[in-house]
């Protein structure tokens, strides 16, 4: 058994530092490395985060732990934020939540005809979006999103209203496929 114990000199020779060795060997670090920080969080999961190992970074009495998110990203999170549930992902959870909220609000405001983004957005009424077949859409002077359109044989056809230019551009593509399938030109 004796030869399985790591020797400091060997560890330093092979890994440069004790921490590197612990990291490479996927071992919990020795107590002294996180003395005063109570429990070892290695292997625990908090939301989407799985704790891999403690870092050397601290904030007051708080240690940063290196975590892997279920989305694949890795990030350092303060112990308190993990334990108290403040941080539950690398940030991807917040992004998803933001998009969900945005969509809900967008749908809601679209129904009630309330302005979605902000005043400045409304002022850009006369600006073009820079994307062909995509224009800001207003109802009674209120910005509701972007509308996909196409001009085919001197007539305008619409492909729906969307909260982002990207989505509207996709809708415009569909219109192109529909109307320009056989003949091109126009618009
Ligand atoms: Zn993530």
Residues in contact with 173: Cβ distance below 8 Å, sequence separation at least 6, in sequence order: none
Model confidence at 133, in pLDDT bands (50, 70, 90)? confident
| Domain count for the chain | 2
Q: Could you tell me if residue 98 is inside a domain?
A: no
The answer to whether residues 85 and 6 belong to one domain is yes
Of the given ranges (8-12, 41-45, 131-135, 158-162), which has the lowest mean pLDDT? Answer: 8-12
Q: Cα angle vertex 183, ends 181, 187, to 5°?
A: 95
Using the mean position of ligand 1's atoms as its centre, give its distance from the Cα of residue 9 in Å. Answer: 38
Model confidence over 40-89: pLDDT tens digits?
A: 899 999 999 999 999 988 887 788 999 999 999 999 999 989 998 999 99
Q: Could you tell me if residue 128 is inside a domain?
A: yes
Q: Could you tell me if residue 108 is inside a domain?
A: no
H and E: helices and strands count for the chain: 6, 7
The answer to whether residues 77 and 152 belong to one domain is no
Q: Which residues are found with C-beta within 5 Å of the ion, ligand 1? A: 69, 71, 73, 89-90, 92
DSSP string, 68-85: EETTS-EEEEEHHHHHTT
Residue span of the structural domain in which 124 resides: 113-179
Q: Could you tell me if residue 44 is inside a domain?
A: yes
Q: Could you tell me if residue 104 is inside a domain?
A: no
The tokens describing 57, both together, are 């970074």
CA distance 148 to 173: 9
**Kind and range of the H or E element at 159?**
strand 155-162
**Cα distances (Å, whole numbers) of residue 169 to 147, 148, 166:** 9, 7, 5
Q: Could you tell me if residue 102 is inside a domain?
A: no
Full-model pTM:
0.42
Nearest to 70 by CA among 89, 51, 86: 89
Using the mean position of ligand 1's atoms as its centre, give its distance from the Cα of residue 35 in Å. Answer: 29
Q: Are 172 and 134 in contact (CB under 8 A)?
A: yes
The answer to whether residues 49 and 123 belong to one domain is no
pLDDT of residue 45: 96
Using the mean position of ligand 1's atoms as its centre, give its distance from the Cα of residue 2 in Å. Answer: 41
Q: Are 97 and 88 in contact (CB under 8 A)?
A: no
Alpha helices (H) along the chain:
8-15, 18-24, 79-83, 92-112, 119-123, 165-179
Q: Could you tell me if residue 46 is inside a domain?
A: yes
The answer to whether residues 10 and 80 belong to one domain is yes
Q: Are 61 and 19 in contact (CB under 8 A)?
A: no
Q: Could you tell me if residue 31 is inside a domain?
A: yes
């Amino acid at each position: 058994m004796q030869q399985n114990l790591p020797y400091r000199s060997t560890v330093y020779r092979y890994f440069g530092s004790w921490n590197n060795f612990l990291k490479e060997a996927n071992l919990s670090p020795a107590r002294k490395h996180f003395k005063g920080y109570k429990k070892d969080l290695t292997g625990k999961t908090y939301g989407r985060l799985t704790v891999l190992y403690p870092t050397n970074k601290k904030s007051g009495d708080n240690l940063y732990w290196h975590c892997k998110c279920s989305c694949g990203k890795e990030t350092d999170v303060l112990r308190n934020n993990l334990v108290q549930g403040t941080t539950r992902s690398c940030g991807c959870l917040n992004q998803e939540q933001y998009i969900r909220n945005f969509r809900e609000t967008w749908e809601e405001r679209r129904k009630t005809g309330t302005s979605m983004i902000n005043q400045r957005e409304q002022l850009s009424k006369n600006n073009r979006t820079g994307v062909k077949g995509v224009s800001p859409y207003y109802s009674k002077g209120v910005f509701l999103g972007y509308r996909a359109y196409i001009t085919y044989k001197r007539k305008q056809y619409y492909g729906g209203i969307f909260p982002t230019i990207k989505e509207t551009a996709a809708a415009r593509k569909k219109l192109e496929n529909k109307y320009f399938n056989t003949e091109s030109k126009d618009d």
